[in-house]
Structure 1
Amino acid sequence: MTARLLSTVALGVALALPAGAFNLDPRFTDADGDLIADIPTDESEWVDPAVLVFAYTPVEDPAVYEDVWAEFLDHMSDVTGKPIQFFPVQSNAAQLEAMRAGRLHVAAVNTGGNPIAVACAGFRPFAMMAAEDGSFGYEMEIITYPGSGIETLEDLDGRQLAFTSETSNSGFKAPQALLESEFGLLVDENYTPAFSGGHDNSILGVANQDYDAAAIANSVLTRMEARGVVSRDDLVTIYKSDTFPTSGYGTVYNLHPELQEKIQDAFFSFEWEGTGLEREFGAQNESQFIPITFQENWAVIRQIDAAMGVTYTCN
């Protein structure tokens, strides 16, 4: 089975062909046409948990990020009046499963995972990290190591390329679509895929020469370099994409609407200076949360899915 047709492990969600318009699971409604699940009109369906559970997108070791988010979670607790539990999810699949099961209320979902979270888990993204001037985003890079013999994308023919996971935009969808559409390089025919499970694993795998090359989000590489985990001297970039949106922050659709508003207020009122978020994400010039919409900011990601023939069927 080729990587293109690998079933997505999260929630029994399958990649199906051919692609059509973006649709939500039938259990959700979208009366206003903004492509995200409406908050239920029946108040009996609203959820008002005693403890709010938050998860950061599992792009790196989640243990690193519990301290990074500590001040923000204290702030969100003050704004909402509820204790906050940090949920260290190990995979995109675990994050989506927890969201669908009602065990996860607030989350950062990786760029490529936003469509499946919106369609199948009722995720309502409303914010994204940005620089002081409002600019945002990251690029997909394909990296190798010095002396690998890979200098161009064409040199990947006959070599191994590490992806992260099937739901990742920069770690799978965008590079596979690029290599096939622009360079005629087919997975399993022209190059051998490997799945590392995360951008940090792919980066370290290339630096240690365990993989010939890897497709990664350069925002993760920037943070790892700032922490001294990896050196740019051990890596060579052979391709850099246009800019993509970063992880989307949002809530599940059926949280009490007043609670959803308080959570949004917590994001947009948080002062970054001197906090773990500033120390970690300042390395990539991010210093605030800005409002976004899935309909507008994720249009390019939905286009990539359509180009790959991907639709989401939620079981």
Structure 2
Amino acid sequence: MIKLRTLVAAAAALAFTAHAAPAQDWKAKYPELVFGKIPDENASGTTTRWTPLTDYLTKQLGVPVKLRIANDYAAVIEGQRAGNIHIGMYGPASYARAYLVGAKVEPFAIEVNGDGSKGYHSVLYVKKDSPYQKIEDLKGKNLCLVDPNSTSGNNVPRFMMNKMSIDPDKFFAKVIYAGSHENAVIGVAQGTCDAAFNWWNTEDESNLLRMDRKGMVKAADFRIILKSDLIVNSPMAYLSDMPEDLKAAIRKAVLDLATNDPETFNKIYEGKAKPYAATSHKDYEPVVELIKFVDSLRKSKS
């Protein structure tokens, strides 16, 4: 009887060890995780908005999760391609670029707007008191774009302008990459640019409204003269070759964020968004095709 009980206990212990081993394995290989964020606002704003999320992930995953604020969009792409950034918060186009350059990335969560929609627009802002009523009125003027890998701040605008038979590098006096959505708007406010492309979710939320809430500009001083078709919302993506149980833990923590820690979630989106939803690469295939098209435009010019 004693021998039987000993065998049962040993078998149970072995089963527990086998079950627990994968979690111990990934924590040994990944004693620290890095979360990278594209710089769509200034560094201090990014730190304030996203540090609570990395603190939350640290608690949920049981290993430190560090926030890395990239200098430009390409830095997040290259960080994931090199395996140095384990989780990345992208725009649709920067994710598509990461995929196209061979980064082993997998989108798993998508932003959801306050009205439940999962898309946004690229809009062209001018000063409210300017004479410009349509993009054609800006011939010979200065245009602010955001970053070569920005969806609403470069790729969709170039796609739209191509459909309108506008070559921005010939049509405008200058095309300036401002580096962030905030800098593009400030460029218009300060007169460096006569117009700037930017992201716009709904009447209740946009980069311009965020800047207004931070006291950076007054939204009432700008107006929109061009708006794109709907673009699929931004994804969060992890390295696809990480252990499945680690990816599952990250995915669950992020998708449950609004329920588990509503204060942190609302810190990111200022109460203007609904919880993250699950997503996959399939949702971004149209964006991949868009980036290929924009690349072909650039190659045809060179």
Scaled by the length of structure 2, the TM-score of the pair is: 0.80
2:147 counterpart (155, 161, 165) = 165
Matches within 5 A, 1:1-315: 48-120=29-101, 121-131=103-113, 134-182=116-164, 184-191=165-172, 192-218=174-200, 219-271=206-258, 274-282=262-270, 285-295=272-282, 297-310=283-296
Give percent identity, aligned residues only. 23
Q: Take 1:310 and 1:83, find their aligned partners in 2: how far apart are those partners?
A: 41
Q: 1:170 to 1:211 in 2, by over 3 A?
A: same
Give the stretch that moved more between structures: 199-208 or 72-81: 72-81
Q: 1:92 to 1:249 in 2, by over 3 A?
A: same
Post-superposition Cα deviations, 1:138-195, rounded to whole Å, max 9, x if no partner, equal 210101113433211111211111111111111111111211212x211222113111
Scaled by the length of structure 1, the TM-score of the pair is: 0.77
Q: Take 1:47 and 1:124, find their aligned partners in 2: how far apart are those partners?
A: 22
Post-superposition Cα deviations, 1:241-283, rounded to whole Å, max 9, x if no partner, equal 2221222101012222211110001111113665243144135
Give the stretch that moved more between structures: 70-79 or 185-194: 70-79
Q: Take 1:134 and 1:207, find their aligned partners in 2: how far apart are those partners?
A: 32
What amino acid is the match of 2:141? R
Query: By how many angstroms is 1:131 displaced?
Result: 3.5
SS at match of 2:55: helix
SS at match of 2:270: helix
Q: Take 1:227 and 1:256, find their aligned partners in 2: how far apart are those partners?
A: 40
SS at match of 2:39: coil
Q: CA RMSD in A?
A: 2.5
Query: By how many angstroms is 1:303 displaced?
Result: 3.4
Q: Take 2:59 and 2:26, find their aligned partners in 1: how far apart are those partners?
A: 25
Q: 1:275 to 1:151 in 2, by over 3 A?
A: same
Query: By how many angstroms is 1:89 displaced?
Result: 1.2
What amino acid is the match of 2:161? L
Q: Provide structure 2 residue ranges, at least 5 long, that are not aligned to the other structure.
A: 1-24, 201-205, 298-302
Query: Are the counterparts in 2 of residues 199 and 216 from structure 1 also a CA contact under 8 Å?
Result: yes
Q: Provide structure 1 residue ranges, at least 5 long, that are not aligned to the other structure.
A: 1-43
Q: Take 1:51 and 1:193, find their aligned partners in 2: how far apart are those partners?
A: 40
Query: By how many angstroms is 1:46 displaced?
Result: 11
What amino acid is the match of 1:174? V
Q: Take 2:185 and 2:123, find their aligned partners in 1: how far apart are those partners?
A: 11
SS at match of 2:111: strand
Equivalenced residue count is 266
Query: By how many angstroms is 1:45 displaced?
Result: 12
Q: Bigger radius of gyration, 1 or 2? A: 2
Q: Match for residue 4 of structure 2?
A: none
Q: Take 1:307 and 1:102, find their aligned partners in 2: how far apart are those partners?
A: 27
SS at match of 1:50: coil
Query: Are the counterparts in 2 of residues 47 and 256 from structure 1 also a CA contact under 8 Å?
Result: no
Q: Take 1:48 and 1:214, find their aligned partners in 2: how far apart are those partners?
A: 44
Query: Are the counterparts in 2 of residues 48 and 259 from structure 1 also a CA contact under 8 Å?
Result: no
Q: Take 1:226 and 1:249, find their aligned partners in 2: how far apart are those partners?
A: 25
What amino acid is the match of 2:105? F
Higher RCO, Cα 8 Å, sep 6+: 1
Query: Are the counterparts in 1 of residues 145 and 154 from structure 2 also a CA contact under 8 Å?
Result: yes
Q: Take 1:167 and 1:46, find their aligned partners in 2: how far apart are those partners?
A: 33
Q: Which has the higher helix share?
A: 2
SS at match of 1:134: coil
SS at match of 1:214: strand
Post-superposition Cα deviations, 1:53-84, rounded to whole Å, max 9, x if no partner, equal 11222111132222322332233222221111
Query: By how many angstroms is 1:227 displaced?
Result: 2.1
SS at match of 1:103: coil
Query: By how many angstroms is 1:132 displaced?
Result: 5.7
